[in-house]
Amino acid sequence: MTGSLTDRRARLLGPGVPTFYAAPVHIVRGAGVWLWDADGRRYLDAYNNVPHVGHAHPKVVAAVSGQLATLNTHSRYLHDAILDYAERLTARMGHGLSQVLYVCTGSEANDVALRMAQAATGQTGLIATDAAYHGNTALVSAVTASRTPIGGRPGLARLVPAPDRPGAATPEGFAAGVRAAVAALQAEGHGVAAMILCPYLANEGFPDLPAGFFGPAAAAVRAAGGLVIADEVQPGFGRLGSHLWAHDRAGLVPDIVTLGKPMGNGYPVAAVVAGTGPMAAFRDRFRYFSTFGASPVAAAAALATLEVLEEEGLQARAAATGRMLRERLAALVPPWRATVRGTGLFLGLAFPDAAAARAIEDGLRAEGVLTGRTGRDDAVLKIRPPMPFDAGHADTLAAALARVLARTPPPS
Ligand SMILES: Cc1ncc(COP(=O)(O)O)c(C=O)c1O
What Cα–Cα distance (Å) separates residue 386 from each residue in 21, 131, 294, 341, 383? 19, 25, 25, 18, 10
The DSSP-derived string for 174-223 is HHHHHHHHHHHHHHTT--EEEEEE-TT-TTTT-----TTTTHHHHHHHHH
Give the distance (Å) from ligand 1 centre to CA of residue 224: 27
Q: Pairing state of beta strands 125-129 and 192-197?
A: parallel
CATH number of 58-311: 3.40.640.10
CA 110 – ligand 1 centroid, Å = 9
Residue-range domain boundaries for the chain: 2-53+313-407, 58-311
Q: How far apart are CA 264 and CA 198, in angstroms?
A: 19
| Cα–ligand 1 centroid distance for 97 (angstroms) | 21
Alpha carbon of 17 to ligand 1 centroid (Å): 17
pLDDT of residue 412: 67
Q: What is the pLDDT of residue 3?
A: 64
Per-residue pLDDT of the chain (412 residues; tens, 9 = 90+): 456 899 999 999 998 888 999 999 999 999 999 999 999 999 999 999 999 999 999 999 999 999 999 999 999 999 999 999 999 999 999 999 999 999 999 999 999 999 999 999 999 999 999 999 999 999 999 999 887 888 999 999 999 999 999 999 999 999 999 999 999 999 999 999 999 999 999 999 999 999 999 999 999 999 999 999 999 999 999 999 999 999 999 999 999 999 999 999 999 999 999 999 999 999 999 999 999 999 999 999 999 999 999 999 999 999 999 999 999 999 998 888 899 999 999 999 999 999 999 999 999 999 999 999 999 999 999 999 999 999 999 999 999 999 999 998 876 6
Give residue 149's pLDDT: 84
Ligand 1, atom 3, lies closest to the CA of: 134
Predicted local distance difference test score (pLDDT) of residue 410: 77
Measured from the CB, is residue 49 less than 6 Å from ligand 1?
no
Counting from 1 in the atom list of ligand 1, the atom nearest the Cα of 268 is 10
Residue type, 146: S
| CA 107 to ligand 1 center in whole angstroms | 6
CATH of range 2-53+313-407; options 3.30.460.10, 2.60.40.60, 2.30.30.140, 3.90.1150.10: 3.90.1150.10
Pairwise CA distance, residues 260 & 239, whole Å: 13
What pLDDT, on a 0 to 100 scale, did the predictor assign at position 2? Answer: 59
Closest C-alpha to ligand 1, atom 2: 134
- Distance between CA atoms of residues 74 and 64, nearest Å: 15
Residue nearest to atom 7 of ligand 1 (CA): 106
Nearest CA to 279 out of 113, 84, 89 is that of 113
Q: Does residue 107's CB lie within 6 angstroms of at least one atom of ligand 1?
A: yes
Distance, CA 105 to ligand 1 centroid (Å)? 7
Tens of pLDDT, residues 145-185:
887 888 999 999 999 999 999 999 999 999 999 999 999 99
